[in-house]
Structures are given as structure tokens and as C-alpha cells.
Amino acid sequence: MSFIVTGGHSPIAVAISKNLSKRSSVFHLTRKCDETLRNTFANNANIILEEWDLERTDDCLEKLKRLLILENIEGIIFAHRYRSESVKPITQYVVEVETPFQLLRHYCENYTGQNGSAVILTSPASESVVPDQSFNYHASKAALSQLVKYAAIHFKDKGVRTNGISPGAFIEKERSRKFYETNVQRLEEIKAFIPLRRLGTADEIANLVSYLCSENSSYINGVIIKIDGGYSNMEPSYAL
């Protein structure tokens, strides 16, 4: 049994692959396989790094077809996002929406097992405005949320369940450590606003992915789970 995880260097994608590798092999996809990523998984024989450029949809489909012939793929997790110094709307759509849609469709249409899973990471920007993100980011995340629902209905007949996860804005990441260290007071204000009084972690998201990719969640299909410590339920005046 194997899983496919997109996401390259993303801390969340890395955590997902490490978590899933405890019980199966994982194909961790990245646009460019560099030394940093190799070192990240150096001591984990269950994680196989592969270079897939999600801008090239047809090429990715061919790689998936070959992989499905060789491996029993029980799940595919989309945990990547478009990263570029110059945002190109069409390219961003291809990377974040079109290629995942085509890969997911082909996977579902060719799945032969009993409990296949697809998990798509979306964002609060799929339903609310996030001030530091572009319109294209919002549009792509909204499309991914619809893909969760669409796939759950249209791709269900082959035994693949599709669900989504919307990580909150306050997930602790290594790349944000400098901000935390230099904005201690702001960090405490953020924690005070979150009902659980702390930041979330990439491992907590990975744990949820693992659950959604297990038989324990066999009747969960087409839902998007918010993992944000409960702050999305707060009335805005609580932040004042």
C-alpha cells in the first residue's frame, strides 16, 4: 500500500509524508528535488522523492499512469501551493486546480481497491478574504473546496472518498519562527484569541490526514474539516 503526497518543501506536506510513512510507502512529489529535501527524508526508507512539475499536467498524468501500474496507491493527498515571484493567474490555476483535478479523476477512474482516499488541503481564503493573499489565491482555494464536493459525488463509484482540510492561519511553522521570536506580544495576543490558547502544528494536520486515509473514516466523504483551534467560530468582536 502506498500514498502520493504533493507539496515539496511545505512543512505540512513533509509532516504528512512522515506520518503516513509509519504504515506505508509514500511518494513525496516536488517540483525540484534538492539536497535540503533529500536530507529531510534521509533516514526514512519508506519515503520516495519524485520530481513532478504540476505546471505540466500531461506529463504528470503520464507519471501517474506508470505509477499506478507498479504500485497499489491507496490515497493521494494534495498539500502543495503555487509559489512564484510573478503570479501568473492561468499558471496558478493549472498548478493548484487543473492538474490536481486531472490527477484525481484519473486516480479515481482507475482505482481497484476497497477504501481509497483523496485529501485536498484548502484554506480559509476559500470562503473569507485573507488580507495578505491575492485574488488568484482566493479563487484557486475556492475552486479546490468545490473540487472536494465535486469529486465526492462524481468520483465515488470506484470506492475513493474525497475530503478536504482547511488549516487555520495560525499553524506553527519553522519558516515563521523569526516572526514569533520578534513579535512575542503579538503572538500572545493571537494565542489569547484562539479558544485552545495555542498555535496548531503541522503534525496535527498530518494526524487528521492519516485518519481520513484510514478505514476509521470509511463513511466520511465530501467534507472540509477546519483545523484552527476553534477560532473560526468566534464572533469578530472577540478580537478587539
**Quick one: pLDDT at residue 85?**
57
Gap between the Cα atoms of 131 and 165, Å rounded: 21
> Residue 192: its pLDDT value, please?
82
125 vs 66, 117, 128, CA distance in Å? 34, 24, 5
User: To 10 degrees, what angle do helices 57-70 and 99-110 make?
Assistant: 30
Which residues does residue 121 pair with via DSSP β-bridges, in sequence order?
165
Q: What is the pLDDT along the chain (240 residues), one digit of tens a residue?
A: 899 999 999 999 999 999 999 999 999 999 999 999 999 999 999 999 999 999 999 999 999 999 999 999 999 999 998 876 566 889 999 999 999 999 999 999 999 988 999 999 999 889 888 887 889 989 999 999 999 999 999 998 889 999 999 998 788 776 667 777 788 888 888 888 888 888 889 999 999 999 999 999 999 999 999 998 888 887 666 655
- Written as nine digits, the cell of 153 is 459525488
Domain ranges for the chain, please list them: 2-174+201-234
Q: Do 92 and 82 touch, CB atoms closer than 8 A?
A: yes
Active site residue 107: no
Do the Cβ atoms of 194 and 231 come closer than 8 Å?
A: yes
**3.30.2130.10, 3.60.15.10, 3.30.1390.10, 3.40.50.720: which CATH number matches 2-174+201-234?**
3.40.50.720
* DSSP code, position 164: E
User: Which grid cell is 190?
Assistant: 493571537
Catalytic residue among 137, 150, 231, 238: 137
Instruction: Using a cut of 0.75, tell me whether the model's pTM lies above it.
Output: yes
At 209, list the grid cell.
490526514
